[in-house]
A and B are shown apart, each in its own frame.
Chain A
Amino acid sequence: MTTDAVNAGFMAPGGKSWLREWLFTVDHKRIGMLYLWCITAFFVVGVFLGLLLRLELFWPGRDFIGQQTYNAVFTLHGVIMIFIVVIPSIPAAFGNIFLPLQLGAEDVAFPKLNMFSFWLYVIGGATALASLFSGGGAPDTGWTFYVPFSAVTTTNVSVAVAGVFILGFSSILTGLNFIVTIHRLRAPGLTWTRLTLFAWALYATAWIQVLATPILSITVILIIVERLLGMGIFDPARGGDPILYQHLFWIYSHPAVYIMILPAMGVVSDIIPVFCRKSIFGYKTIVGSSLAIAFAGSLVWAHHMFVSGMSDTAVMVFSFLTFIVAVPSAVKVFNWLSTMYKGSIRLEPPLVFALGFIFLFAMGGITGLVLGSAGTDMHVHDTYFVVGHFHYVIFGGTGFGMFAAIHYWFPKMYGRMYNRRMATTAALILIVGLNGLYFPMYLLGLEGMPRRYYDYLPQFTSLHQLSTYGSWITFAGLALMLYNLIHSRYRGAPVGRNPWKAATLEWTLPSPPPTHNFDTEPVVTHGPYDFSEVRDDDGA
């Protein structure tokens, strides 16, 4: 098949100025694609930095990068992965492309604002990267920018946090846009209980973006003020308090982990019914648990500060609240498993990634309870146990959610199918690789290996080496997956509207969808997981 045999839809090259047409597009699908490509590019950079860290840790002592470089590399790795990759990942890329389609809408509520937030994203990302090459060198504070160190280090922290501020603003505007879109632009008949679970997840996420991100903004503004004007707001000698910084930081950053994970849960909730040909079990419980996570997740921030010198009462309260927030996450896992029970399961790549998500997310979530109970946290705080935990959750969780989304919607976005065997193989390699990479970190942490060190005691060598081998397997999996996707984007077999025979609105459109989405406004008569009306020839 040649390229032009496939309907090009919104991807169709425009006139001469196609670059301008793309960069200043207000079409939500194109904006989503731009995000997807940028995020992928940044992800690749972040992965290389991670591999570099693992390589340095292969032997104890200095192998080839010194401590200052190591500090800069893990800071940059964290900043890129958290603020530029994971937080925007699913909402900004797939949310932009598919939310309006799932709602039967022509676009998001504020298309120009959407373009503006994409540009803020690009500018913010560029600013964060610029901190590498200008001023006093790459920041070395870790992605948390803890004071007092961040207030006094001579490295380029101000520029990096300015980038984070801009990225945060972009995130707020995306969330705001989605909330209004979901409230105002649902097609006739699309009641709240007929909304896809992906849309519901984005809705809950959007509220966290809107309500939590301003606190991050003010926190980073304060760092800048502290550094440039010497305000002393966090300096005890001048009446300030560094613990207040940690509170402000985590009031945003704990909810932020739900910005990272809820959309992935939404993707998985959309995928599982399609590949089990069964309506989702407990639709309303899943919706309720998304909202409950968004709400309860805002109350637990101080579990990052058990050893910072809070009062014992505060430690107990936050420990208790942390346990409560685990409940709605577990509820979702039960719902997914119950949906699969007695379903007619087709083990296609999106489902394989979704199952990988459930497994890896559970591995990370359970250790979250170890960290959430103050007693055990005292022991493993700031060790590799934490590093293992959050990687299982964000790489195994959000990362796999992202991969599942790519494999689920790829045929819709490009009108072509990838090699399914290769996709499944990549998924399995990744699951093996991730366990190899991060499970040893749990053991290292339990044995007392602290995080953020470029050197370690000789007795940790074998576990560190195991982890580094794991990083290579992970890399192989990522490379295979990317190769498959990029190759198939040009050479894959063309597909019709609905290769998975799903029942949500985006699959009623041609693949790729036309610029104006729906010719006539769709009227919705049934829920998103009612497959009785999906016809067999829809796939063609």
Chain B
Amino acid sequence: MTEHRDYLGAKMGMWIFLFTEILLFGGLFVLYSVTLGRYPTEFHEASKLLDVTMGTTNTMVLITSSLFAALSVVGLRKGSRKVAKTCIFLTLTLACCFLVIKYFEWSHKIHAGIYPGGGTLTQWEPGKQAFFSLYYTMTGLHGLHVILGMGVFLWVWTRIAVGTCTPEHFVALENAGLYWHLVDLIWIYLFPLYYLIT
């Protein structure tokens, strides 16, 4: 049996899937806005405690990685598997950078006792506690998606290497790129909501 290939179908499936991911985060954004409405001043205060420099750096890192993701698709479509693989490699490297920076941010806070159940945070007003529980939940879930996206890119990388993802049939790479853009996009919303609302 020849494998059934349907470019439009594959794209459609991916878009619908991305939509479910948006809804998944959508639930959290709703929680965020309700809680923000309830504790505007506490959110303002708590937001000051986040490190804007690190957040901004991470935003730049992730946007750049998205650029390389896009370039890998362009590279493959133009016929160069080598360019595609190099660009995927750069995307993955930047994704690692993102996670490392995130790790430092989190561990600073955790050392200072600012985490749910932590000595410092439990002393603070409920509004600030809510800010940080949402912060950890949302950036944590986003971080998990970064890791998943890296897994997807690794998988596509091997497919390019063994020749099942080719300049003629590049939809797997294109879909991986779409997924990565979504992960990027979600961060672009998280960043101002947590770091810049002071």
Query: A-side interface residues toward B, CB under 8 Å?
Result: 106-107, 109-111, 113, 172, 176-177, 179-180, 183-185, 210-211, 213-215, 217-219, 221-222, 225, 229-233, 236-241, 244, 248, 251, 516
Contact = CB atoms under 8 A, between A and B. Distances in A.
* 8 A-B pairs closest in CB distance: A239-B130, A239-B126, A218-B27, A214-B23, A214-B24, A231-B133, A184-B9, A238-B129
Contact of A210 (B6, B20, B27, B126): B20
A218 B30 CA distance: 11
Contacts of B25: 218
A107 B4 contact: yes
A356 to B, nearest CB: 35
A213 B23 CA distance: 9
A126 B28 CA distance: 28
Nearest to A177: B13
Contacts of A230: 116-117
Contact of B21 (A179, A211, A214, A244): A214
Contacts of B127: 239
Interface in B1-46: 1, 4, 6, 8-9, 12-13, 16-17, 19-21, 23-28, 30-31, 34-35, 38-39, 42
A100 B141 CA distance: 36
Contact of A109 (B9, B20, B26, B35): B9
Interface of B is mostly: helix
A535 B52 CA distance: 75
A187 to B, nearest CB: 14
A334 B24 CA distance: 38
A180 B17 CA distance: 11
B24 A232 contact: no
B16 A109 contact: no
B27 A238 contact: no
Contacts of A176: 13, 16-17, 20
A221 B141 CA distance: 9
Nearest to A213: B20
Given A179-B16, A239-B39, A184 B6 contact: yes
Nearest to A212: B23
8 contacts: A109-B6, A214-B26, A215-B23, A231-B137, A238-B130, A239-B126, A239-B128, A248-B30
Residue in B21, B127, B130, B136 with the greatest tally of chain A CB atoms within 10 Å: B130
Nearest to A175: B16
A287 B147 CA distance: 42
Contact of A232 (B1, B20, B30, B129): B129
B16 to A, nearest CB: 5
A17 to B, nearest CB: 18
Contacts of B28: 218
A214 B35 contact: no
A508 B78 CA distance: 46
A210 B136 contact: no
A214 B31 contact: no
A210 to B, nearest CB: 6
B116 A231 contact: yes
B96 interface: no
B130 A172 contact: no
B137 A225 contact: yes
Residue in B20, B28, B42 with the greatest tally of chain A CB atoms within 10 Å: B20
Given A176-B16, A238-B116, A238-B129, 6 more contacts: A113-B13, A176-B20, A215-B24, A230-B116, A233-B130, A239-B39
A179 B134 CA distance: 34
Given A109-B13, A240-B130, A241-B34, A214 B39 contact: no
Given A238-B116, A239-B39, A233 B20 contact: no
B129 A106 contact: no
Contact of B34 (A109, A231, A244): A244
B17 to A, nearest CB: 6
Contacts of B19: 210-211
A232 B136 CA distance: 11
B54 to A, nearest CB: 22
A123 to B, nearest CB: 17
Contacts of B4: 106-107, 111
A375 B38 CA distance: 29
B6 A238 contact: no
A233 B12 contact: no
Nearest to B141: A221
